[in-house]
Amino acid sequence: MNTFPRLLSLASLLLLWLILAAVFPPTIVPGPIAVFKAMGTNLASGQAFYHLYKTLLRVGFGLILTMALGIAVGTVMGLSRKGEVFLDSWVMVGLTLPAIVYSIICLLWFGLNDFAAIVAIGVAAFPAVSISIWQGIKGMDMQLVSMGQAFHLTRSAIIRKIIFPQLLPHILASMRYALGICWKICTTVELIGMSSGVGYQLNYWFGLFSMSQVFAWTLLFLVVMFAIEYLLFKPVERRLTRWRSGVPALQWAQ
């Protein structure tokens, strides 16, 4: 049902690119053919896979670190008033600092390696996650918990069957958002301190003023993002929220 507008949106993006490429010289806006050719060369040489693998590795572990930190901090803030007051300003500071600051600090502390990249990503992206989890816990329906108690559910059953399912949409939404942030920070770290990864390649081709290569790497990046979104996030989300579907149709069923 939504396929047509989505295709239309992608097609118009491509059209815009074609127009811009026709108007500007290839050193400023290279056309799709040049870009796909550059991308083809990168993929054929195996180069692209190596750098993509390095970036994905950093983003993946960074995301795990971010989610772990974010859920832990968000849970403490949601459950304890003292914790909220204590961590509130930390999260605000975390949100306000530009990602480049984390990147520079981590590279100086830990050296020019993957570990530094992962820490920088994990620390920079977690405040957004903890805010989402914090709000999720605050907005939780406590009446459902007291229902569980009235039916003598064990503590662990209440957590597993009543609390966790209510937090799941928040975890999922924040994970999506965090993934976007992680990508951006990862390219920054790679740009300033790594000798591999998509960010490093962007910087390298920037140095050589090769616009078609810059476009090719950006496009590759986008393709991977779309793949993760449509092959992983969307299906998982659809499965987890199917209970919300088809609501209006049956309201009048009685």
Partner 1 sequence: MGAIKLTNIAKEHILANGERLRVLESISFDAADRSFTSILGPSGCGKSTILNLIAGLDNHSSGQISIDGNRIGFVFQQPRLLNWRTVSENVLLPLEQKQFDRSTMQALGDKYLGIVGLGEYKNYYPLQLSGGMQQRVAIARALAIDPDILLMDEPFSGLDEITARKLREELIRIWQETGKTILFVTHSISESVFLSQQVLIVSAKPATIFKRVTVDLPYPRQYGDLRLFEIERGLTEAFLGM
Q: Which residues bind partner 1 (CB under 8 A)?
A: 143-144, 146-147, 149-154, 157, 161-162, 165, 240, 242-244, 246-247, 249-254
What's the CA gap between 93 and 131, in Å, rounded?
13
Task: Determine the Cα–Cα distance for residues 213 and 207; give it in Å rounded to an integer.
Answer: 11
Residue 167 or 194: the one with the smaller Cβ distance to partner 1 is: 167
Burial class (CB in 10 A: 0-12, 13-18, 19+), 196: middle
Nearest to 200 by CA among 217, 179, 216: 217
Q: How far is the CB of 236 from partner 1 (least distance, A)?
A: 14
The Cα–Cα gap between 168 and 122 comes to 20
Closer residue to partner 1, CB minimum distance, 113 or 146: 146
Least distance CB 106 / partner 1 (angstroms): 39
Give the C-alpha separation, 23 to 17, whole Å. 10
Q: How far is the CB of 211 from partner 1 (least distance, A)?
A: 49
User: How many residues belong to the chain?
Assistant: 254
Nearer to partner 1, 22 or 239 (CB): 239
Choose between 1 and 239: whose C-beta lies nearer to partner 1.
239
Report, in Å, the least distance between residue 167 CB and partner 1: 12
SS3 breakdown of the chain: % helix, strand, coil, rounded to 5? 85, 0, 15
CB nearer to partner 1: pick between 23 and 250: 250
CB of 29 to partner 1, least distance (A): 48
Contact 77, 87 (CB under 8 A): yes
Taking the C-alpha atoms of residue 38 and residue 16, their distance in angstroms, rounded to an integer, is 20
